[in-house]
Structure 1
C-alpha cells in the first residue's frame, strides 16, 4: 500500500518512518540520531472478495488456496481494487544538526502488483476462470506491476518559533532506480464468453471491442521475488529505468505553554528542553512521491490499441507466467498491427497526507490522519490507495503502543490494528482481522523495524536555574 501504512501512529518518536510521511519531521526531532538497520512491511488486499480458507497468520502451514470456493464476493457494483506488495527499508540515518535543523539519508526498495478500476463483471469472470457464459460490456481495468529502489536525502528546518506558534518545513529528494514495470489497462472492453463448438474450436471468449494500453520493461524481475533478493537490489547495476522524485511538507505546532519548557543551565544560559513535546495540537501537511521513472531500456509500449471481433483461445490463456506473458499478450492483443514505442514513464504513488495530533495528557495522544492518492484512475505506475485513520497512542522514548482504526482501500474497508515499539524493535499491523478465526478478511498486512536511536538529553539531567513562567517571552 506504498509507504503510508507502515505505521499509522505518526508518533514523535517515529524517526525515519515519520520522515516518509512528512519530511518536515526531520527538524526538531526527539532524537539526536537514529540508525535504521532494517525494516519491512508486506500486504495483500482487495475490495472484491473475503477469504474464508484455512490459511491464516496463525496457520501458515495450510495451503493458501484462492479458489472460488474459498472466496465470498462483496455485494457492490463499484469498481474493485487489489494490491499485493513488499516494502523494504534501510539502512538509513537521521541526524539532528542543531536545535532548528535536521538531515536524513535513507534507502528503500518497493514492489507491488496492483489493480485499479477493475469492473465487477470482469473480476467475477476471472475468479470463475472465464467459465461464465454471456456478454459483458463497458468493462474497465488498470493493472500495474512495479519494482524500484530509492536513495533519499532529506533536509528540514524550523521556520517560525515565537513560543506559542511553531512551524517547520522539510524536503526529500529521491534518486530512483527502476528494475521492472508492466501495465495493462482499458477504459472500455466489451467481451463475450462463448461455448466451444465446431465453428469456434477452442475459443474461450471473444473481444467484441477493446481500447487498451500495454507496456513492460524487464517483467522477469518479478519472478520469484523474495525478501533477500529485494535487499540485494539496493546495490544492483544495469537497471532498465531511472528517475527523480521528491516529498515536501510542513508541520505547525500550537504551544500555549512554551515557557515551561525553558530552563537556565549551570552556565546561566537559557535553553529549551528538546527532549519533550511542547504542543497542545500539531497539524501536518505533505505531498509525497512526486516524480516518475523513465524506462528506456528493454522497454516496449503500445498506448493506442484498438481491437474488434478478436477471438481468444484457451491455449492463449493457459500457462501465462513472467517468462512468456509478453509474447502471449502480443498474440492476444494483436500488437503487431499497432504502433510500438521503446520507452514509457511509470509514476510514483503521489499522495496528499494530512494529520492532526492532539495531546490529551503527557504521553497520551490522539491522531486523525488522511492520505488521499493523487494518481489518476488510468495512470501508469504504482499508486497509493486512499485511507483515513483515528489512532490513540501512548508514547515515550522506549515504549509506544498505538491502536489505529482505519478506513482503507479508498475509504471502503474498515480495519483495526495494533503497533508496539519497545526500544529498537517495532512490530505491528494495520489490519488484525486475519488474526481472528471468526473473521473473513479482505487481506493481510504486517510490518517490523529495527532501529537504534539516541534521544535528546532531558533538562532534568542538568543543573537547573529558576524556572520560567508559562507566559514568559524569549
Structure 2
C-alpha cells in the first residue's frame, strides 16, 4: 500500500502546467502542420507550400496544492517541505499531459484545399478531489504514520497513439469575408490505461503496527470503504516486458472553422492585362481572425481491460503482505472482498472547445485571445480532461522568426506568464517560464521544443522595380508598363513611333496617322493624307477631287471659260459667238496699245485701254491668253525681234502687276516674221507694228 501512496504523492506534488499543448506557438500563423492540433482549418490558405515536422514534444500539467519559486528551488539548501507554499483543500487536483507530435506534414492540394498527415503520441494523468489533509498527513516528517480519509476521489492515467489525416477547404471567399473549415479523422491505438475511484475510503497506516517476531515490526494497514480499480490486462505485471495492448483501438475526430475579416483584400492580389490574377500567398490578409473548433471527439475501447470493484474493509493487514504480493490486483483479491468483475471499458478523449481571436495591428504585430474549455466533466472518471485556460498572447511575427508572450489564467493555477519563439526550423517555449521564476507560489511549469522543415510561399518580387511583380512581368529584368505586361514599349515597324501609341505596330507609318501608313480609299493613286476627296476618285491637280462640269458641256470647270454656259471643247466650253465676241474685243483693244517710238515703254494714253483689257481677262478666269508682238521690217532683223519681245513683256508685266495671274499669259515676240501687210508702204508698215492678245484654245 505504501508504494501506491508514494506514487500518488509524486504525481500530486509534480509541478506541471495545464493540459494544453504548445502554448503561444499555436497562435503563430507559421505554426504550420501544428495547426491541426487546435483547429484543422488552419492548414488551408496558410503561408506554407508544405511543412514537415520532424519531432516536437510538449510537457505540462498542474496541481493546486504545492507552490514554489523555481529560481529558489535551484539553489543549494532549498527545503521543499518547509519553503514551499501549500494550499490544502477538500478537493485538490492535479493534471499531467505529455504531447509528442511525431513525423507529420501538410501540403496544398490546390489554392482552396489542403491535406495533412500526422502521427502523435499522448499521455494524460488526471487526479481529482484528493483531500489536502491526506497529502499533509503523508508529507508529515514528524511521524511515519498517516491517515487517509477520502469521501470521493478518482485517478486516471492514459497513453495512446494517433494516426491522423486532416482536410481543410476554403468555404467562402467574398472580398472582405473569408471562411474556411477543416476536419480531422484519427485512428487511435491505446498504449495503456488505468483508473481508480474511491468512495468513503478510510486508511490508517501504523508504521510499527504489526509484530513479525524477533523484536521486528512492519507497517499495519487498516481500511474501510469501496474502490474501483480498472487496468489493461498487463498493467500489474512486474516483468517490464511492455507490449501494446491487444484490442485497444478507437477513432476520433476534430472539427473547426475560421473566419477572417479582410477589409484590405484588394491589396493582396494583382492582375495582368490578360486577367490572370496572382495572389500574395506569403501574406496574412486579415485584420481580424476568429477560429472555433472542437477537438478530441472520440474514445478508445480497451476490450481486454479488467474492471473490478472491492469493499476494502479490513484491519491490521501487514505491509509485508502487500510487498510480497505479485501485483496490486493480487493484493486486493487476497485481502479484500471483490464486489464486481467486468471485462472491457472505454476511455474518452479529452474533448475540448477552442475559441481563438487574432487581431492584426500590422504585418508584424498581433494580439491573440484564446480560450480552451474542457467539455468533459470532472465527475466523468473514465475520461481524460484538459484544464480550462484563457490566454492573451501578444506576438511579433515574421516568416523566419516569431516571438510571443502568453499571459494565461489557468484552472487551479491562476495567472501565468510565459515566452516562446520560432526561429526557422526550431520552435521552443513555455507558457509559464516567466512566472516560474518570479512567483513564490508557482504551481505549474511547462516546456515544449521541436524541429521542422518549413517550406514557405515565396514573397512576390519585382526585380526591375516597375511596380509589376515578376510572376506577372513578361520582362522581369526590364522596367515596363502594366499595359505591356511589364515590358518596355518597342517599335516593331521601326517607324519612330513606340508600339503603345502606334495603331499599326507591324506597318511603318507616320506620326500624323498614328503610326499607320496612309491609304488610298478611292484608288485614285493619291494618298488619303493629301487627297481632299478621299472617298471620290480625283486627280492630283485637283488635290484628289474629281473636276466639276457645272454646265455639263463636257468641259471641266477648270478648263471652261464659260462655266455656266454650254459650249464646245474647241471653244474652251463657250458658245462660238462668245468666243468670237471675246476675240473681237481683245483685237479692238490691242490695236490701241501704243508704244514710244523705237522703244518698249507703253504710252501713257494706253493705260486706260490696258485697264479695260484687264476687266475682260478677269471675266474669264479660266482662260489663258497669248500676248504676241510684231514689227515692220525697218531696221535689222535682230533689233526687230528684241523690240517685239520687249514690248509684249511690257504688256504682260502691266497685266500681272494689276492682278492677272502670270500663268495665264504667254508673251511671244515675232519681230518682223508675221506681217499682215506689205512693208513697202507706210500704211502697210503701220499695220505690221502691232500687239495681239489671243485666246488660247485647248
TM range (shorter): 0.7 to 0.9
Residue 22 of structure 2: aligned partner: 6
Q: 1:220-369 to 2 correspondence within 5 Å?
A: 239-265=246-272, 268-297=275-304, 299-302=305-308, 304-308=309-313, 313-315=318-320, 324-331=327-334, 334=336, 337-369=338-370
Residue 420 of structure 1: aligned partner: 421
Matched, 1:209 2:225: yes
1:34 to 36, 51, 66: 51
Contact 1:246 1:289 in 2 (8 A): yes
2:104 to 81, 84, 92: 92
Give the RMSD, CA atoms, in angstroms: 3.6
With normalisation by structure 1, the TM-score equals: 0.82
1:406 to 394, 405, 408: 408
Secondary structure at the aligned position of 2:21 is classed as helix
CA deviation string 1:129-151 (max 9, x = no partner) = 89587876553321111121110
Q: 1:368 to 1:104 in 2, by over 3 A?
A: same
Matched, 1:179 2:179: no
Higher relative contact order by CA 8 Å / sep ≥ 6: 1 or 2? 1
CA deviation string 1:258-303 (max 9, x = no partner) = 1111211585412322211111111111111111111123x2112x
Partners of 1:31 and 1:356 in 2: CA distance: 21
Contact 1:180 1:222 in 2 (8 A): no
Partners of 1:319 and 1:84 in 2: CA distance: 30
Shift of 1:344: 1.1
With normalisation by structure 2, the TM-score equals: 0.57
Q: 1:198 to 1:153 in 2, by over 3 A?
A: closer
Which has the higher mean CA deviation after the structures are superposed, 15-24 or 181-190?
Answer: 181-190
Shift of 1:399: 0.4
CA deviation string 1:217-269 (max 9, x = no partner) = 433699989xxxxxxx9xx8664511111111111111112111121158541
Contact 1:261 1:273 in 2 (8 A): yes
CA deviation string 1:4-28 (max 9, x = no partner) = 3323341111112121101111111
Which has the higher mean CA deviation after the structures are superposed, 196-205 or 7-16?
Answer: 196-205
Which has the higher mean CA deviation after the structures are superposed, 283-292 or 125-134?
Answer: 125-134
Q: State which structure, 1 or 2, has the greater radius of gyration over its C-alpha atoms.
A: 2
Shift of 1:306: 4.1
Q: 1:306 to 1:375 in 2, by over 3 A?
A: farther
Partners of 2:395 and 2:267 in 1: CA distance: 24
Contact 1:255 1:280 in 2 (8 A): yes
Matched, 1:442 2:443: yes
Partners of 1:198 and 1:178 in 2: CA distance: 41
Contact 1:401 1:420 in 2 (8 A): yes
Q: 1:45-194 to 2 correspondence within 5 Å?
A: 45-51=62-68, 69=81, 72-77=84-89, 79-128=91-140, 137=149, 139-192=151-204
Contact 2:190 2:302 in 1 (8 A): yes
Partners of 1:441 and 1:318 in 2: CA distance: 36
Partners of 2:363 and 2:302 in 1: CA distance: 50
Partners of 1:352 and 1:128 in 2: CA distance: 40
Q: 1:224 to 1:440 in 2, by over 3 A?
A: farther
Partners of 1:369 and 1:411 in 2: CA distance: 18
Contact 1:433 1:441 in 2 (8 A): no
Residue 634 of structure 2: aligned partner: none
Secondary structure at the aligned position of 2:342 is classed as coil
Contact 1:92 1:105 in 2 (8 A): yes
Instruction: Write 1 or 2 for the structure with the bigger share of strand.
Output: 1
Secondary structure at the aligned position of 2:266 is classed as helix
Contact 1:53 1:70 in 2 (8 A): no
Partners of 2:152 and 2:324 in 1: CA distance: 24
Residue 576 of structure 2: aligned partner: none
Secondary structure at the aligned position of 1:122 is classed as helix
Which has the higher mean CA deviation after the structures are superposed, 167-176 or 270-279?
Answer: 270-279
Instruction: Write 1 or 2 for the structure with the bigger share of helix.
Output: 2
CA deviation string 1:360-399 (max 9, x = no partner) = 2221101111111122223214321211111100111100
Shift of 1:327: 2.8
Q: 1:432 to 1:45 in 2, by over 3 A?
A: same
CA deviation string 1:108-133 (max 9, x = no partner) = 11123331222222333343489587
Residue 470 of structure 1: aligned partner: none
Residue 32 of structure 2: aligned partner: 15
Partners of 1:240 and 1:166 in 2: CA distance: 44
5+ long unaligned stretches in structure 1: 226-232, 468-474
